[in-house]
Each structure stands twice: as structure tokens, then as C-alpha cells.
Structure 1
Amino acid sequence: MEKKIQELVSKMTLEEKIGQMCQVDPGVFGSEEEVKEAVRNGQLGSLLNLIGAEKVNAIQKVAVEESRLGIPLMIGRDVIHGYRTIFPIPLGMAASWNEELVKEAAAIAAKEAASEGINWTFAPMIDVSRDPRWGRIAESGGEDPLINAMVARAMVQGFQGEDLSDPMTIAACAKHYIGYGAAEGGRDYNTTIIPDIYLYNVYLPSFRAAVDAGVATVMTAFNDINGIPASGHQRNVRGILKQDLGFDGFVVSDWASIQEMMAHGYAADEKHAAQLGLSAGVDMEMASRTYANHLQELLEEGKITMEWIDDAVKRILRVKFRLGLFDHPYVDESLADSVLVHPQHLTVARKLAEESMVLLKNNNDLLPLKKGTKVALIGPMVDQPYEQLGTWIFDGNENDSKSVLEAFYEYNGESNTFFAEGLKYTRDKSTKGFAEVEKAIAKSDVVVAVVGEEAILSGEAKSLAELDFVGAQNQLLQLAASKGKPVVMVVMSGRPGGLYKTQHLAGAILYAWHPGTMAGPALVNLIFGESVPSGKLPVTFPKGEGQAPIYYAHKMSGRPADSSSWTHIDDIPVKAVQHSLGNTNHTLDYGFTPLYPFGYGLSYTTFEYSDISLSSDKIKMGDVLKVFATITNTGKVQGTEIVQLYTRDLVGSYTRPVKELKDFRRVTLKPGESKTVTFELKTDELGFYLPDGNYVVEPGEFHVWIAPNAAEGLQSEFWLE
């Protein structure tokens, strides 16, 4: 392949080389004939947002049969959490903690997209995010590097399969490189300030996992990082990604992010932006045209090198060869009818939706309900086949969706289900529909309130300053709680939020994220006990936006708080003297604990953790430490527990987090069954990256936990010598 690439590059003119480095949206670029002419002249290497096998084949025919060198096009599309069959948003996928199921979902998305001519997706998004105000947390794997790495690996392997030349696979794109999820104030596109020790230890591991999994492409981010825009950051792209991590695919900019370096105040004009982008190592420019318009002139002026251009072109051609486009450039136009929304795809979508939902509260075992229970089904998200799909669903079809209302009618019967939405949509402030809600509740034994946010309220450029439910949803929940009937709250949302002011109103809370096409059947199965909840939070839930950003792997302050060292603001005596309350790291109103910790999630059964033990309390470099604990199902139904392994390095040359997730196991147990769970912890997993990028493992004392979440668990200690 490398020989073929070299031979092809040697035949290319400079204009054809630059053409390979350009990607455009045909609808923005110009007329159909203008697009064909540019392809015919070798001036484009990729198109995005061209949908339909027939259309793709038509433009591919121009590239392959009418251009001088016959180089096929890459056809890109945002296939984020499904193509036509929509799976839970990525944050929901992460809540399943099920790598194989996420991989299967990505493989289905690839198959459906490929059937319509797409051979490249701009996913997975693996930006570590610790601020729920940021709308794109919906697309991430949450706050933890290990969980994001799991999502990265699963989705890359799912999209790309074992052989990228398989016509039912597509090239993945790890994004956004790098630090995009650390936007100041949770405001999208905002500045990020990330010390190198955090860059290497928090934000880079998911990209390292994607590269190790063979990801074909990487996308640079919109943000600047420590004063340099990500698309112009030579050290991060050309240095760390390509040289240090050994990434041999190609790097594409995000939409016009090279041109946007002008708005950042980093590039003086488009020509300067093109120079900075290529110098940094961005191989292909998406949407904007600074490369097309200025690379030749920059080369003539000696401001860029032919070596950089050739390297970029070779990387692009390498991915095209790996995709098998030179041998099989065309799509079977009969595939889509038999592939899209296949029953098996819907089965996987339902299963992943079930495993992604997190049971946060279940007082007095309110859930599961019995079939035939008289249910008042209320709330603005009950019958929203479009909104339940979530953000970034360009090709999802609401007509494929099964809503909560439809699923309730099918399972529980219309005679047992009394529907009154109360609010037309989540932002609706009118309470005119509340009278119908009261009538529905009067006929029922239990209230199921499905609330949250519409799809448009999360995702790109959908940041929020407040995390409370929008519209009159709080009033709706208060009304439901006032009638003396048990209330089950189901939340469909793209972010953690809405619960601090309302959780006391419900006896049970099921956090469903935006669950996708099969939201209704998945929720009905969980609510009525056909399935048992197993999801765990991939992100910490704050008590309010004033706690953001909040995450479990924080550093220990010099004056840490505990349950005895703070007083709530309402309990402070009048005229209390300055130091009478103590001096610890907390806030007077929220304290120091979150609403729900990372890794938290209940089941319809209970699990007991006991008998933690270690293979040794002292280990040497290169050893493997085994950590054991017994997990027992102490409830009445079979359930799956996600058992988590955390460590803490008590003293380091740089301060270390109070806990770090190192591994997890999915353990399914029958009632009364016990199992010893064994984790193997290698000493090289106990180290960290220094600010210079070097990895060190330092001897000393460590704590280790086997735990149901980041706030609880069994603890032991060991020494690394």
C-alpha cells in the first residue's frame, strides 16, 4: 500500500495534492455542476453531507472515471449515536458501562450509513467533560478518562470493524482534539486552560485509546488551549498526536476551524490561517477554503514545506486505501432498503437504552410496577418521538420511534393508562393543561411523570447557565406530588440536571438521558420489571450549577471538608464569630458532596460487598496485585452490578486525585448468589504522566477500593516498593 501511495503522490500536481486536502459541503460549495467540475479537476478530496447511494455513486463516478488520476472521494457525515436507528446519546451509552454493546451499536450505525454511501463518520466524540452546563456533554463519555477511553475503543472498533475495507464499515474520527470539554464556564467554543499534567492524564487518554484501536482520522477542536487554537497547535497535533502517539491516519479540522483562527486573534488573515493549520499538522480542511486559496502561494514563499503537503496527502490516501475505495469505489444501491431500521437493530437499540438508564431513587421499592397498574402518564416528554432521539440525529426519523405513550398503551393497556401531557413541550410555561393532569391522576394509583429537555436544548452551542427544569415542569411535578399518589419521575435529558429542586417530589427517579428510537419499549420494560436497571452514572450530578464543574477525581485540598466540618447556611447562628464554623473546603449552601456521585446507580435488587483482600500488602515494580471482594445479591430478583475498582496514590511528586477509576466488572447474580470478583492491577497502571509527557510510577502508599460508586466501597491499602 505504501508503495502505491508513493507512486500516486509522485504523479500528482501541486493543485491535485492541495485538492486532496480539501473537504466541502456540496450544498454550501456551489451548484451540482460546480461540484462535479471541481472533483473532475482533482480539486476536492472529500465531501460531507451528501446523502443517498445514487448521489454518492454519481459523484464518485466523476472522481474515479473522469478525473486525471481517478482518486476516489471520502464521503463524511455526522453519525453520532446511530444513523437511521438511533441509540441513546453517547453520555447514555457511557452509562451502560457495556463496551461490547456500545461496539455493536456503532457497527449497526456504520452498516446503515454505509448503505447510503457514507464511508466516514465524525465520531466518536471523546472529550472528557466535567461541567454539565456544557451542551456537548451529551455527546461525550462523561467526566472520567477510563470511561471515555472505553467509549473511544468501542465506537472505533464498531464503526471500523476488523477490516476497514469491508463495505459495511466506515472510517471513524476521534474528536475533538483536544481539551474541548474543558470550556470555561461550560460555554461552547470557549477558551480552555489546561496545564500539561491534566492534558496528559485527563484529556489525552481517550485519544490514546482511539489511536491504539486504529482510528482512521482525528478532528481538531474549536477551542483555544492555553492561548493557541487547537487547529493551530503544532506541539499537540504534529508533536504529541502524530509523533508521540504514532498516529498514521489523517487529521481534519472541525467546520471552518482553521479560518476561525482569525476570530480567535491568532491568525491575521486567511493566508496566515492556512499557514498555521498546515504547520500544526492539520491534513484536511473542512468547509472553509484557506488551503485551496493559499497553500500554493505559501509554498512559493517558503512559509510551508512540500514535505508537509506530501505527508498530509499520503495520510489521506492511506485512509482511502484502507477503506478499499480504490478497488470498490461504488455503493450497492439496493442495500439501504434491507439494512435501515432492521428489527435486529431495534432490538440492540432497546437493549442499550435499557442498560443506559440509571435508577437514582426507589423509595419503598416503588418500582417495578405491576402490569395492569392504573397509571397517570403525564409530562411533556411522554409522546415526543422526535425529542426522545436527542441531539445530532440528522438522519433519524421520528416515524421510526416508539414513544413512551405508545409503549405504555401496548404493554399496560389504554384502559389502565391515563395520558395528560400537561405541557405541550418542555419549555411550555402555560398551566392550562394541568386540569387534565388532575383528572388523570384522580383515576390512577401511580403517577409516571416524563420530564426533561427537548433535543434542541443540548448538544453543540446549547450551553446553559442554570440546570433546573425549564418551563413549568417543576410546577407540574409539584402538582403530581400534592395528590397523595406515588410519583415516578422519568427524566429524558442531554445532561445531568433538574433534580436538586424536584427529587423530593418523587418516590422513584429513572434517569433516561435521550434514549433514542426505542425509548418507549425500554422504559416500559424497566418500569414494569421486564428488565432490571443496571446503568451507572458516567458523570457526577451536582446539587446545582454553583457546584459546576464537579467530578469525583478531584485533588485533596490542604483543608478538606468532612461531614463534621461544615454548617449549612440556614443553621449558622446569628452573629457567629469568624472562625466558629471552622475553615474547610466547602460551600455554605451545598456543602461538599454532590447530589449523586460518579458511578452511582440502583437496581431492583440489592448487592452486598464484603471481604476485600489483596494478594499482598507490598508489591514491587513489575508485579501484578490481585484485589478480591465478594459480591452477593441480597435481593429477590436477578440483577447486574457494575463493580468498580479505584485507587489513590497518597503522596506524589505532583498531587494526585483522591480517587481514580482503574477498572470495572459487570457481574450478574441470581438472588442469594455470591461471587468473588478479582481485579488484576499492574504496577504500570499506578503511575501518571509528568508535565513533560514522561510516564512515571512512584513508590509509596496506595489506597484501593472495590466499590459500587465513587463515594462508597470497601477500602484496603498496599505499598509499592
Structure 2
Amino acid sequence: MAPWTRLALVPLIAQVVVASPMPDANHEASQLNTRAAEGYDSPPYYPTPDGGWVSDWAEAYEKAQQVVGNMTLAEKVNLTTGTGFFMGPCVGQTGSAPRFGIPNICLQDSPLGIRNSDHNTAFPAGITVGATFNKNLMYARGRALGQESRGKGINVQLGPAVGPLGRKPRGGRGWEGFGADPTLQAFGGAYTIKGMQSAGVIATIKHFIGYEQEMYRMSSIITKGYSSNIDDRTLHELYLWPFAEGVRAGVGSLMTSYNDINSSAASQNSKLLNGILKDELGFQGFVMTDWLGHYSGVGSALAGLDMAMPGDGAVPLFGDSYWGSELSRSILNGSVPVGRLNDMVTRIVATWYKMGQDKDYPLPNFSTNTLDETGPLYPGALFSPSGVVNQYVNVQGNHNITARAVAREAITLLKNEDDLLPLRRNDSLKIFGTDAGGNSDGLNSCSDQGCDKGVLTMGWGSGTARLPYLITPQEAIANITKNAEFHITDSFPSDVSANSNDIAVVFINADSGENYITVEGNPGDRTEAGLYAWHSGDDLVKAAAEKFSSVVVVYHTVGPVIMEEWIDLESVKAVLVAHLPGQEAGNSLTDILFGDYSPSGHMPYTIPKSESDYPESVSIINQPFGQIQDTFTEGLYVDYRHFMKANITPRYPFGHGLSYTTFNISSPTINEVTALNTAYPPAAPSKGATPVYDDAIPAASEVAWSSTSFTRIWRYLYPYLDNPESITTSGEYAYPDGYSTTPKPQARAGGGQGGNPALFDIVYSIKVQVTNTGSRRGKAVAQLYVELPSSLGLDTPELQLRQFEKTKELAPGQSELLTLTVTRKDLSVWDVVIQDWKAPINGEGVKLWIGNSVADLPIVCTVDGGCSSV
């Protein structure tokens, strides 16, 4: 049946996931291509594992069990289903269970700040955070995000994003994540989650999974979203890696992606949700759909979905839903087991308790629908009561300090010939480019930042926030020097004079965003702009380079860009990538530009010389008719992994970043912490007990309209039914092959949050001394890459980032001892036959490389030979 089939009908349940196990490396390579034409299939995985067996969650689940065990069917359904599009103050909200003190649960974007709100901070985007390589700032930004969400009464903040991974350089939303590497994404996501949830807000890791392109992402009544076809090993070693770390960090909720994975919609994929997420990774929170990414009723319930957002069916604002009253019907007619509903609700309520939201947690005091003080309470209704919808609560605190620090530490110095930077305050400067200024139409004049006007602070779409203010580069530079002449235009002025002492500073950018907004012909993905600067920015640089002998280029960008037209020009002396800095764009830049701080950012992705340097499979697929099969034929070879395998020298490698000072990494030592004396990790402890309920079908009267006494809001989604007593259980449902209500044995690779706890045992600890050998203060990053031995019998990338640490600010001559740890999982590959992580026994043949980027690794450590300089 079509994915919009209503829940009371016999369901279509698509369950496709990872490809079949592959016995060896040669077979792996050939199968990767042959399956691309055939399409990817995989077995079903039923039933959904119950939550509550992890000790860290035991208290929360005990509290939830006491509540859920006394709920009516209507109360349970209420908490699993959104109330509908525009049916409340937040971008999404569930129904409530007021008898138990549980309000409508408010869910709100975005990963970089509170979307469509007021008096909030617009933080730097995820890609900017990744470029800091600073775990402390990752946590600090996450905590500030959580504090602001709590202050606004938001229960669930929809971030962080670790999918897309950045597989497609033109992809529209790569900037919401932390970089094109699973380890960088994993640390960025995990520390953000810990920070957010320390404030009591429920974090949401998203989008699960394989969501790498904007165009054709969604299914509807007339189209089918693309299918990301991913083999088992690639899924585990790349795309699942940051999600596993987010689960290990205790994330409370997870959002599925819009697209299919191996021809099955993410929100109803039983193997991914039941088998991998809730069994293998031990996820204890609740799974929600992306907005209008709910495509079936019974099928999604049985496949492991716990919450439908925003609740609407195939067409929003029609007042119907795949769940809501239809979920009530499916419980009464027996097509969805009561036990599955109990687990859905228990996961939601337990997460609410886990974050302490039962204790003085504020209700929403803002409206995502309007900035007016008063207005309709349910804007999606034809007739709605009105009231106060915005209280204008200021939640910014001193978070501008954190925002500025993140933006500053992300700025990446790519080139600095003749030590042109830092600038002196008395230098004669000529500033060019609209990217140095503000939006000529006014601050926040473009909905969800859906335009490219002025300095680029973030991409566009639901992953944005309104700017409470904006310090532009023009304003910040003018505050520092009177010797700057501004030309806020993207056309080089013909009347500009230049003498030998003048320095031109040229601002250019490259934008992208989410698919529901098209900006300058780009439907989210950079289809028109490609990997080049917007607004003829490359021409602006070349024109400045022709006239001035010293040019500094400042690039604000969502992702990889091509610089070949001007990077080697003699007068282009310095290049700074300032990423997406948020509200403190100007201040953070001048902190670096004028030398108050040394740059310490590192590239979170590779910068190529040509788009043809990438594998063909990572280009944007444009196929307007029929379902797109987007097969990940490049496998593990994304970003720097690909460049190294193909022996292509990029313009700037992953991890690259210069400073105004110099550093030396020395005195490396390696120590074994946990013996790696088995190829596979020891068996994990058995799961703990989970809540037990009476799973009998409840009385139909629990969802009868006649038992209620309130005024109905048209289009609002309720759990109630007319004449529910007429519903009977026939037991004749065409469940899919493999459907079962008998719990499966614990996954071999499972046993804890994130997987088998033994996977995260520290195997080796490496210490290095980092010394500032230059003449200025600065911070350095030590990056650790793993080289796995060929004895594992698999085609494996030459180097893979597995750890990094950043120093404090070091004065000239000052040193700091950094410790970099490596876990069993860091040294493992995914065995598709055994379905477990396999490591080289005793670390034999493993090399651990440490340095400044993937292309600059002066230290190597081995188990037998110790550490040495190369």
C-alpha cells in the first residue's frame, strides 16, 4: 500500500536496512556495485525491544512505570501524537496527561539556537563548532543552548545534527553538523548533548540516517523520497558512528530522516529502529519523526517509532493523522499490541523524568508562530481562542561570550604569506564585499534566513535562529581602526585607488540550506552555485588582487569551496575561513584579524582543487520522476579518506589550520591501559529488567468522545473516537514476513548505551608535549589518526581520525602535556558476518599517527616500537 494508508487498514510495513553480510574484502568491493543496480534489501526485525534495562535510566523508568500503568488509552495516545501543524506555541507539541502533571511536551528547533523566538542567542552553526576542535567549547555551547531552551519552556530541543555527515559537498544541510568525519561529528554531538541535558532539556540527535541531499528527500501522496543505499560496514563505521556516541552520552530523543534507507522509509524501518538503534545501541529514549516524515500507521508503530510529529497525516491541516484517534483504533482492534504502545509512552515519560522536567520546569512562554504579544493559541485552527502567546522572556544571559569564543576559535587560517596577518591598527585598509556588511533589507528580514544578503552568519532553513543583534565585520573593523575604507559591494569599484601600503580585505561567501526554501536558484543544495563563491565572489577577489599588492580573503561558507581561480595569485597573501559565526560575526573576526588572539581553527572537511576530485557518487542526484536510488558506492571513502585512496592532493587537507605562532609536538609516550587480547569484545552483561504492564486491550470507553467535556478545536488531533465500542478484534492482519512478538536475544554487539560497554574500554593512552615555539600566544590541536593493519583482511582507509585535544592558550615558550586516548572500538572494523566489532589482537600492526592535520603527522606510535618522530 501507499505510505499514506490510514492506520486502521492493513498496514504496509517496509523493513529494509543494511545489506546482507559480505564474507571478504574482494566480495565486498564487487557487491558494493552490483547491489547498486539491484537495490538493497534486508531482513525485518521485530518486536521493538522495551526500554528501561540500562541502570542509568532505572529510576526514571520506575517513575514512568507507576504513571503509565495508571493511564487511560487516551492519555497514552495523547503523548505519542503531535497535536497538529500550528496547533500550539511550539513547532511541535504532544497532547498532555494533566492527571499526572505531564503537560503538552514542547518540541522546538534548532541546533544553533531557538528558532522563531525572541531574546535568544544565535550561536555559531555546528560546522563552526567542529572547526574549533575544542571539546570544552562544544560542551559550553550545548549547555547554553539547553539553558535558553529551558528558559523558554521548551522540553525537547531539536538538535544536535550529526546527519548529514557531509558526504555530498553540495548538500544543503551539512553545515548543521560538525564536519565530514564521524569522529569529529561524534565528539561534537556527544558534548553538545551532555551540555544541553545538563540544563534539563531533552536533546534530539538527528537525522537518522543517510540524509545527505535536500532535493527529493520527502515522500508524499504523489512522490517517493530518495533511497540512500548503504552497505552494512559503511553504515556502522561512518554514518552510525556519531549516533552511537550520542546514545552513549545518554541522549533523550532521536529524530528519523525523511528519506528511505535501502528502500524503506527511516521512520518505519524495523531493522534500523528496532534492531540497530534500540537493541544494538541500547537507545533508552524515544524516537520521533521529522516534521511530516510520518508515512504509515501500524507499520511505523511496530517498526519502533514512538512519537509522530507534528502529528498530521499525509496532508497537514486536514485534521487527520496516522496515529491520534487511528492509533486508538489500532489498539482496540488488536493490530498494534498494547505492549508496544506502553513502551512508546514509557520511553517518553521516562525521558521526561530523566531530565528532571517534573520539577519546576517552565511552560512555553513564546510562540514560534508570531512575535506579537497576543494572538490565536492554535493558529492552524479555523476558529481559535486567543490569548497571550509571547512573554518576551530574555534567556540570553552572558551567552554572547560563549558564542564569540566559539566563532573566534573556529576561524581557520589557511594561508599567511609574509606574515601579513595579523593586521596592525594603523594599516591602511580597503574593505570589499557585501559579506562584510548587514542585510540591506533589515535584520531577520528573510524568513528562516532564506537569503544571502550581508555577512553569512548561518545557512537557511529550520536549523536557524533569529539574530537578536548582529555585529557585522564592517562595524567591528570600524570600531578598531579609522584607517578602513568600506566598499560594501560585490562589484569591484572602478574608482578605487591603491598604493603600495594599502591592504585589501575581500569578504566572500557560499550559502546553502533546507529544501523548502530556494535561494538564488539553489533548492537547499548548491545546485546553481556549485562549490564556488556566491555573487561573483571569485571575480571580486581577482579584481582586488589585480590592483592591490596585498590581499586578505575572508570566506564565510557552509562547506567546501573551490579557490583555484585566485589562491595562487601573488598578491593574495592570506586566507581566513570564518565558517558560520552567528551573531558575533564581526567581533570574533576582528579578534583574530588584528591579533588579539591567534587563529586556532582547523578545517572540518577537505578543500578540493576541483569538484571532479570527488567520487561521482557524491554529486547531487537530480531525477524528477520515480524514486531516486542514491547508492553509496564510495563506501568508506568520503572526504579525506577518498582523497588519500585516490592519491589526490587537495588544496587544503582535513584538519589543516595555521597560527600566528608555531608549535612543536614532542616527547610522545604510549601506555597500554586495557589489554586487547581478543579480536572481539567480551560478551556484555545481560539486559536488566524492563517495566511490566497488564497488556490487555483496554475498555473502548477510554477513547469515547462521550466521556469528554471540552470544546473541540477544529483540526486539533485528539485520541478520541466516535462509537469505539463497535470496534472488534478480528486478528486477521497481514503482518510482514518475519513479524513476531517474541523478543530476540540481545544483539552480540549490544549490551549498553552505544553498544557493548567493552567497546569503549581505553586500550592505549598517548601523551604528547605541545610547546609554543613562536613569539605570540596561541592554542594548538593535537589530532590522532589510526592506521589499521592489513591483517584484518578488509579494505580500510589509510588514516582515520579517532581523537583530538586542544591546548589552553600557551604563552611563548610554554608547554602543555596532552593525553589522547584510544578505545577498542577506535581500533576495530565492523565484521559483517559475525555482526560485531573486530580489532587486531594485542594491537599488532596498528599505527597511531599524531600531528596537526591528516597531511601533517610528525609522530607515530606502535605497540611494540613505542613512539618516534617521522
User: Which category of TM-score, normalised to the shorter sequence, fits these structures?
Assistant: 0.7 to 0.9
- Listed as ranges, the gaps of 5+ residues in structure 1 are 30-34, 36-46, 51-55, 162-167, 260-272, 424-430, 563-584
Deviation at 1:110, TM superposition (A): 2.1
Residue 840 of structure 2: which of 694, 698, 707 is its match? 698
The yes-or-no answer on 1:388 pairing with 2:456 is yes
Residue 508 of structure 2: which of 438, 451, 454 is its match? 451
2:553 aligned partner: 489
1:136 aligned partner: 173
Counterparts of 2:159 and 2:301 in 1: how far apart (Å)? 22
**Which letter does structure 2 place at the counterpart of 1:445?**
D
Decide which moves more: 536-545 or 606-615: 606-615
Query: Structure 1 615/237 Cα, relative in aligned 2: closer, same or farther at 3 Å?
Result: closer
SS in 1 for 2:184: helix
Deviation at 1:660, TM superposition (A): 1.5
Query: Structure 1 544/322 Cα, relative in aligned 2: closer, same or farther at 3 Å?
Result: same
Counterparts of 1:697 and 1:418 in 2: how far apart (Å)? 59
Residue 661 of structure 1: which of 801, 811, 814 is its match? 801
Q: Deviations over 1:594-625 (max 9, x none)?
A: 22111110101122345656569x98638954
Counterparts of 1:124 and 1:702 in 2: how far apart (Å)? 32
1:507 aligned partner: 573
Counterparts of 1:561 and 1:485 in 2: how far apart (Å)? 33
Counterparts of 2:435 and 2:91 in 1: how far apart (Å)? 30
Contact kept? 1:133, 1:545, Cα under 8 Å? no
Counterparts of 1:346 and 1:458 in 2: how far apart (Å)? 30
The yes-or-no answer on 1:479 pairing with 2:543 is yes
Counterparts of 1:384 and 1:118 in 2: how far apart (Å)? 30
**Which letter does structure 2 place at the counterpart of 1:639?**
G
Aligned-pair identity in percent equals 27
1:578 aligned partner: none
Counterparts of 2:797 and 2:215 in 1: how far apart (Å)? 22
Report the count of equivalent residues.
Answer: 630
Query: Structure 1 320/612 Cα, relative in aligned 2: closer, same or farther at 3 Å?
Result: closer
Decide which moves more: 598-607 or 4-13: 4-13
The yes-or-no answer on 1:340 pairing with 2:369 is no
Contact kept? 2:200, 2:357, Cα under 8 Å? no
Q: Deviations over 1:74-109 (max 9, x none)?
A: 111103112321121101101101111121112222
Deviation at 1:218, TM superposition (A): 0.7
Contact kept? 2:237, 2:636, Cα under 8 Å? no
Counterparts of 1:242 and 1:662 in 2: how far apart (Å)? 25
**Which letter does structure 2 place at the counterpart of 1:22?**
T
Q: Deviations over 1:407-439 (max 9, x none)?
A: 0111112xx11111222xxxxxxx4xx326x42
Query: Structure 1 221/395 Cα, relative in aligned 2: closer, same or farther at 3 Å?
Result: closer
Contact kept? 2:217, 2:259, Cα under 8 Å? no
2:784 aligned partner: 645
Residue 493 of structure 2: which of 421, 432, 435 is its match? 435
2:432 aligned partner: 378
Deviation at 1:450, TM superposition (A): 1.0
2:111 aligned partner: 80
Deviation at 1:331, TM superposition (A): 4.2
The yes-or-no answer on 1:244 pairing with 2:280 is yes
Report the aligned-residue RMSD.
3.4
Residue 533 of structure 1: which of 569, 594, 599 is its match? 599
Contact kept? 2:107, 2:158, Cα under 8 Å? yes
2:3 aligned partner: none
Query: Structure 1 285/440 Cα, relative in aligned 2: closer, same or farther at 3 Å?
Result: farther
Q: Deviations over 1:458-505 (max 9, x none)?
A: 998611242011222222111100113311111111112142333234
Counterparts of 1:459 and 1:91 in 2: how far apart (Å)? 21
Contact kept? 1:134, 1:186, Cα under 8 Å? no
Counterparts of 2:515 and 2:477 in 1: how far apart (Å)? 26
2:200 aligned partner: 169
Counterparts of 1:242 and 1:687 in 2: how far apart (Å)? 22
1:267 aligned partner: none
Contact kept? 1:404, 1:519, Cα under 8 Å? yes
Deviation at 1:348, TM superposition (A): 1.4
Residue 71 of structure 2: which of 12, 32, 37 is its match? 12
2:102 aligned partner: 71
Deviation at 1:249, TM superposition (A): 1.1
The yes-or-no answer on 1:216 pairing with 2:358 is no
2:649 aligned partner: 593
Query: Structure 1 9/673 Cα, relative in aligned 2: closer, same or farther at 3 Å?
Result: closer
Residue 263 of structure 2: which of 221, 227, 238 is its match? 227
Contact kept? 2:238, 2:636, Cα under 8 Å? no
SS in 2 for 1:11: coil
The yes-or-no answer on 1:275 pairing with 2:275 is no
Counterparts of 1:192 and 1:219 in 2: how far apart (Å)? 17
Contact kept? 1:81, 1:106, Cα under 8 Å? no
Deviation at 1:130, TM superposition (A): 2.6
Contact kept? 1:388, 1:455, Cα under 8 Å? no
Counterparts of 1:250 and 1:149 in 2: how far apart (Å)? 20
2:773 aligned partner: 634
Query: Structure 1 656/378 Cα, relative in aligned 2: closer, same or farther at 3 Å?
Result: same
**Which letter does structure 2 place at the counterpart of 1:640?**
K
The yes-or-no answer on 1:49 pairing with 2:91 is yes
Counterparts of 2:299 and 2:498 in 1: how far apart (Å)? 62
Q: Which has the higher contact order (CA 8 A, sep 6+)?
A: 2
The yes-or-no answer on 1:602 pairing with 2:602 is no
SS in 2 for 1:364: helix
Deviation at 1:23, TM superposition (A): 1.5
**Which letter does structure 1 place at the counterpart of 2:486?**
F
Contact kept? 1:274, 1:295, Cα under 8 Å? yes
Counterparts of 2:819 and 2:202 in 1: how far apart (Å)? 36
**Which letter does structure 2 place at the counterpart of 1:422?**
T
1:111 aligned partner: 147
The yes-or-no answer on 1:410 pairing with 2:479 is yes
Counterparts of 1:24 and 1:720 in 2: how far apart (Å)? 61
The yes-or-no answer on 1:158 pairing with 2:195 is yes
Q: Which is richer in helix?
A: 1
Counterparts of 2:464 and 2:539 in 1: how far apart (Å)? 35
Deviation at 1:302, TM superposition (A): 3.8
Deviation at 1:323, TM superposition (A): 4.1
2:130 aligned partner: 94
**Which letter does structure 1 place at the counterpart of 2:649?**
T
Query: Structure 1 124/626 Cα, relative in aligned 2: closer, same or farther at 3 Å?
Result: closer
2:341 aligned partner: 309
SS in 1 for 2:415: strand
**Which letter does structure 2 place at the counterpart of 1:520?**
G
Query: Structure 1 186/356 Cα, relative in aligned 2: closer, same or farther at 3 Å?
Result: farther
Contact kept? 1:82, 1:393, Cα under 8 Å? no
Counterparts of 1:599 and 1:98 in 2: how far apart (Å)? 13
Contact kept? 1:87, 1:349, Cα under 8 Å? yes
Deviation at 1:208, TM superposition (A): 1.6
Contact kept? 1:221, 1:254, Cα under 8 Å? yes
Q: Deviations over 1:547-602 (max 9, x none)?
A: 3358999669xxx999xxxxxxxxxxxxxxxxxxxxxx75xxxx712221111101
Query: Structure 1 395/698 Cα, relative in aligned 2: closer, same or farther at 3 Å?
Result: closer
Decide which moves more: 311-320 or 290-299: 290-299
SS in 2 for 1:20: helix
Contact kept? 2:404, 2:584, Cα under 8 Å? yes
1:40 aligned partner: none
Counterparts of 1:638 and 1:330 in 2: how far apart (Å)? 44
SS in 2 for 1:367: coil
Query: Structure 1 464/191 Cα, relative in aligned 2: closer, same or farther at 3 Å?
Result: farther
Counterparts of 1:187 and 1:201 in 2: how far apart (Å)? 23
Q: Deviations over 1:35-77 (max 9, x none)?
A: 6xxxxxxxxxxx7327xxxxx9xx99xx57xx56653111111
Query: Structure 1 333/279 Cα, relative in aligned 2: closer, same or farther at 3 Å?
Result: closer
Contact kept? 2:431, 2:487, Cα under 8 Å? yes
Counterparts of 1:626 and 1:80 in 2: how far apart (Å)? 33
